[in-house]
Amino acid sequence: MTTDRRLTPARPDLAAAHLKGAVTADAYADGTPQTCIAGKTWIRRRPAADAPVETELLFGETFTVYETKDGFCWGQAAFDGYVGYIAAADLGPAGAAPTHRVTASSTFVYAAPDLKSPVRLTLPLGAKVTPGKGDYAELATGGFIFAHHLAPLMARTYDFVAVAERFVGVPYLWGGRTPLGFDCSGLVQAALELAGIAAPRDTDMQEAALGTEVAFTETLQGLHRGDLVFWKGHVGIMQNAVRLIHANAHHMTVASEPLAKAVARIEARGFPITSIRRL
């Protein structure tokens, strides 16, 4: 069985029980669903505070834990299947499935239903919650949140490009998938989530899974708003026929610029466009 370590909960010493017979490991575990109780937390490649970052888990998202050891949990995120290590202190028992997500860039969990009360927690776009009723809705996990910063999980924002455009100027952050910092594929994933489109986490996964390929020439004519432009290790979103929005390490922000300018700069580094895909 060919496995992708990013999406396969398997190590030589331990693997998920459902993979028994497909992968070889010294032991297998059923796994225990837990919930992120931090506003957001890193998923890391190794169980160490200085280990490389892979992606983020957001408040209310589920993480199936197969091992807890030395302050870290190893497991798999339910949201996009990413496998890695999370600080154990940022996870808690899984409760009822969330019903809403944060649609503001960020919002606060207050100690009382009053904007002047102490803030317990800051939640980013995409965090999942179960609120009660009222303008300041009590959360099942405790605290109160401004309900107009939430929408039901099934709600859709059909122009995902408009979502991405909200974040022009947000800092570039490797592994980031919130308005506190995005990387290129994190921006695409977050924008598509609000449009009800499930997207894998990394650029190569998105290129393989999203939309249909669009033929293009050197002149890059005929592109549409929402087309995804891929390079090796990078992705951007067309705002219109000629302009691209992307989180990138050149500007170190989410930036909007002419596609031709981005193409020239990236090709000069030895990376031509690999594909353009239309949703």
**One domain for residues 194 and 272:** yes
Asked, for residue 1, whether it belongs to a domain, the answer is: no
d(CA 42, CA 190): 16
Q: Specify the pLDDT at position 161.
A: 98
The mean pLDDT of 42-59, rounded to a whole number, is 97
* Residue 104 and residue 89 share a domain: no
E-assigned strand segments in 28-175: 28-29, 32-36, 40-44, 53-58, 62-69, 72-77, 83-87, 91-93, 100-102, 106-110, 119-124, 128-129, 136-138, 144-146, 150-152
pLDDT digits (tens, 9 = 90+) for 137-174: 999 999 999 999 999 999 999 899 999 999 999 999 99
| Closest C-alpha among 19, 66, 11, 77 to residue 43 | 77
Domain check: are 134 and 209 in the same one?
Answer: no
| Domain total in the chain | 3
- Has residue 134 been placed in a domain? yes
Confidence band of 3 (pLDDT split at 50, 70, 90): confident
Asked if residue 194 is part of any domain, the answer here is yes
Mean pLDDT of 24-41: 98
Q: Which residue, 53, 74, 93, sits at the end of a domain?
A: 93
Distance CA 61, CA 128 (A): 6
One-letter identity of residue 115: L
Does residue 250 carry a pLDDT above 70? Answer: yes
Unique residue bearing structure tokens 């596609």? 259
- CA angle, 39 as apex, 109 and 173 as ends, to 5°? 135
Rounded CA gap, 237 and 229, in Å? 6
Instruction: Tell whether 232 is covered by a domain.
Output: yes
Asked whether residue 6 is assigned to any structural domain, the reply reads: no
138: CATH: 2.30.30
> Is residue 1 over pLDDT 70?
no
- Same domain for 136 and 241: no
Per-residue confidence at 279, pLDDT binned at 50, 70, 90?
very high
User: What does each C-alpha distance from 83 to 47, 137, 271 come to in angstroms?
Assistant: 12, 33, 28
User: Based on the domain organization, do 30 and 124 belong to the same domain?
Assistant: no
Mean pLDDT of the chain: 97
Q: Residue 47's domain is classified under what CATH number?
A: 2.30.30.40
Residue 6: is its pLDDT beyond 90?
yes
Percent of the chain whose pLDDT exceeds 90 = 97
Regarding whether 76 and 144 lie in a shared domain, the answer is no
Q: Which domain holds residue 202?
A: 160-278
**176-179: long-range pairs with CB below 8 Å, 24+:** 176/56, 176/247, 177/55, 177/56, 177/58, 177/126, 177/201, 178/40, 178/56, 178/58, 178/106, 178/124, 178/125, 178/126, 179/105, 179/106, 179/124, 179/125
What pLDDT digit, counting tens, does each position of 190-236 carry? 999 999 999 999 999 999 999 999 999 999 999 999 999 999 999 99
Asked if residue 116 is part of any domain, the answer here is yes
Task: Tell me, yes or no, whether 24 and 133 share the same domain.
Answer: no
Amino acid identity at 86? I
- Indicate if the pLDDT at residue 37 is higher than 90: yes
CA 146 to mean position of chain CA atoms: 23
Q: Is the pLDDT of residue 20 over 80?
A: yes
Q: Specify the CATH number for the domain of residue 211.
A: 3.90.1720.10
pLDDT at 2 over 90: no
3 found inside a domain? no
Are 168 and 267 in the same domain? Answer: yes
- pLDDT given for residue 95 in this prediction: 87
- Pairing, β 128-129 against β 40-44: unpaired
Of 67, 93, 119, which residue constitutes the final position of a domain?
A: 93
64 and 131 together in one domain:
no
Percent of the chain with pLDDT strictly greater than 70: 99
pLDDT at site 223:
97
Claim to verify: residue 192 and residue 273 sit in the same structural domain = yes
Domain boundary among 93, 113, 143: 93
Choose the weakest-confidence range: 14-18, 106-110, 154-158, 176-180.
154-158
Residues 41 and 138 in one domain: no
In 3D, which of 225, 244, 243 has the Cα closest to residue 235? Answer: 244
41 assigned to some structural domain: yes
Instruction: Please tell me the pTM assigned to this model.
Output: 0.96
Q: Are residues 117 and 147 in the same domain?
A: yes
